[in-house]
Each structure stands twice: as structure tokens, then as C-alpha cells.
Amino acid sequence: MSANNAFHIAVLAGDGIGPEVMAPAIEVLRKIEQKSGLSFRFTDAPAGANNYLATGKSMPESTIKLCEEADAILLGACGLPSVRYPDNTEIAPQIELRFIFDLYAGVRPARLIPGVPSPIVGADQRGIDLVVIRESTEGLFASMGKGVVTHEDARETMVITRKTSERLFEFSFRLAERRKARGKRGALACVDKANVFKAFAFFRGIFDEIARNHPEVKTDRLYVDACSAMLVKRPWDFDVMVMENMFGDIVSDITASLIGGLGMAPSADIGDRYAVFQPCHGTAPDIMGQGKANPTGMILSAAMMLDWLADKHGLEGAAEAGEKIERAVDQVYAGGIKPMEFGGSNGTADIAKAVLAAL
């Protein structure tokens, strides 16, 4: 583990464009080393569909041990549509890591960067700056690999526990408080379907209990269908939202689409001790090896990692370094960088070079 400001980072580049977006993120962190008192030791490890093809496992035990010993985990993108387990599910070490290390809080920020197009009219003037917190170990995903399928029907079971919900809500309130201290709204909405399902009424009841311990945070309660409709009309009304695993999976893709798409969206899966940082996008095998991949989500995930390390170790310099990366990204997009998914001509190398220059 870390000593002062030196951090050991496990690097799981993954499949498809995973290694292509990971390389610029590492370059950015190396640049941060030159500009700050931080230092990093990166250790590469295999994970994903290609490792499954070679060994029959999504990850070797050595990768899991490395992740356990490291200060943080950087993950590229894992899985390939053509490579599947015998039950026809995709290879997904990113999901397995959540269960192995009890990473119950999936943090999915959605911030509209200057110069990036949004499909929402008025977003360029009003701005979008929100966070989806997705419970990442329970909900409908607790049934992963355990569902029962017969000739007549198929059944999956949703699980919501008090222990995980309490930790999730405490995490969410702390994040809202940190955002408020940084000049943002610091409001928190619980998103559920409590009007239909007892499990979600239980979920909301625990939220209400935890809310009483955080009176300074403005709270709201929304049904997921109404929330989704509101997001595509007035996303600037939202700050922090917390929800069950499957709802978070869907809503976080909606919010990523509001800020330019999955290529722009960073994420983290965080537990009490460990954390994984990765872009929201997939492995995109259709553009693999062509230099077209947008590394922005991966670079911003590295910035999230620095902010988490700062909070965990009380190291303000790491938080400042993360903010520097965000400002550099803002600068290059405001200056006219246009990734290929926006109809531009800038590929992986152009974007990486521009961010490094801005730093």
C-alpha cells in the first residue's frame, strides 16, 4: 500500500480498445508526476476475454492478488461480444471485481464539457453536472449466474440488504456534502420504484433513516420512470442520484448520452477499502486498432482515481492533480478538439497529445 504520496496502481488494460485508451491515461499520470509531488508505480495484469480464450479464466489469481495489494485499480474495457461463457453471458471481470472487493458504490459522473455537443436543447447554456451512484453488488445483479431457466420460464431474483443500503446511502450523502463544499448544489435524490415493489419501499425507507443524519443535504425521492423522463428534459435540475444496480446501469447510460456519449464518461466502483476506475464505454472491437478510440473517459477516470486517493489518504495534492486533468480536458475541447464519434477527425493520438500539452 501507499507510503505518503507514492502509489502503486494495478493496470488492467483489458480487451478491444481498452489498451488503446489506457496508454494515454498512463501518459497523463506520468505528466502529473512531473508537475506534482506524486509518484506512481504501475503494474500491468491480464483480464478479460482474451485471457479467457488463452486460459479459460477471466482473470488469473495473480491479477486478483495484485488488485488486493495495490492502492487503486485502473481498468480499460473488458469483454468481446464473440467470446462468451457456456451460459452465453459475456466475459466481465469488471463485474466480478465488484463482488470480489465489495465495491458497492458505482460512481458515474456526467458533466458537460465546454465545446462538447449535447442532444438536450439549452444544455450548452444551462450546463449539466450530476452524478449517478449505482449500487454495484446487489439488486438484480445479485442473481448473475444464479438464475433458473426451464422450458416454461426464467427467473432472476433481486436482492436488497440493509447493510449494503446503509453504506451506499452514507457514501452518497458524503459525496453530496463534498460537492456542496466545492460550490455545487449538494442535493441527493433516491431513485426507485417504491410504489410497486416492496424491495424498493424497503430501500427508500433506509434512505429516509440515513437522511435524518444529514439534514444539511436537500433530499428528494423519485420513481425511476419519472426520473428518466425528467433527465432528458431538464438534466440541469439534478445533482446526485442514488439507485439500485439495474436502474443505475440504465440511467447512467442515459446521463452519459447527455454529455456526448460513453466515450466522454468516466466511472468508479468504490468500496470501503478498494476502488476500480474505468471509462463507461465498452471494448468497441469494430474500431480496435484504428486509432479512432476516444481516450477522454479513461483520462477522466484517472482524475477520479486521484480524487479518491486524496480523500482516502488526506492528500490534498492528489485532489488538485485530478482537478488539473479535468481543466486540461476542458481546455482542449473548448479549443476545438472533435473526436470521431462527434463527426470530427481527432483520434486517440490527437486527443492524448492535446491533453498532455494542456497539462
Segment among 68-72, 146-150, 351-355 with least mean pLDDT: 146-150
Q: How far apart are CA 30 and CA 217, in angstroms?
A: 37
Q: Supply the pLDDT for residue 2.
A: 47
Tell me the per-residue pLDDT of 226-246, one tens digit each, with 9 for 90 and over: 999 999 999 999 999 999 999
Cell numbers for 54, please give them: 488463452
Cα→Cα distances 100→14, 137, 275, Å: 18, 10, 11
155-196 per-position pLDDT tens digit: 999 999 999 999 999 999 999 999 999 999 999 999 999 999
Domain end among 212, 233, 259: 259
User: Is 5 a residue whose pLDDT tops 80?
Assistant: no
Global pTM reads 0.93
Asked if the model's pLDDT at residue 85 lies above 80, the reply is yes
Domain membership flag for residue 109: no
Largest interatomic CA distance in the chain: 62
Say if residue 130 is in the same domain as residue 90. Answer: no
Q: Is residue 128 part of a domain?
A: yes
Query: Do 293 and 212 fall into the same domain?
Result: no
The residue from 200, 231, 259 where one domain ends is: 259
Residues 225 and 122 in one domain: yes
Return mean pLDDT, the chain.
95
Across 122-144, average pLDDT: 94
Q: Are 277 and 268 in contact (CB under 8 A)?
A: yes
Give the H/E segment covering residue 355. Answer: helix 348-358
pLDDT digits (tens, 9 = 90+) for 213-228: 999 999 999 999 999 9
Q: What is the average per-residue pLDDT within 134-148?
A: 90
For residue 149, pLDDT over 80 is answered with yes
Q: Which amino acid is at 181?
A: A
The yes-or-no verdict on residue 283 having pLDDT over 70 is yes
Q: Domain range for residue 142?
A: 118-259
Q: What is the CATH number of the domain that holds 219?
A: 3.40.718.10
pLDDT of 3 over the 60 cut: no
Q: Indicate whether 316 belongs to any domain.
A: yes
Neighbours of 287 (CB within 10 A): 18
User: What pLDDT does 176 receive?
Assistant: 97
pLDDT at res. 4: 67
Q: Indicate whether 72 belongs to any domain.
A: yes
Residues 234, 337: Cα–Cα separation, whole Å: 27
Which residues pair with residue 276 across a beta bridge?
Answer: 73, 269
End residue of a domain, out of 259, 283, 298:
259
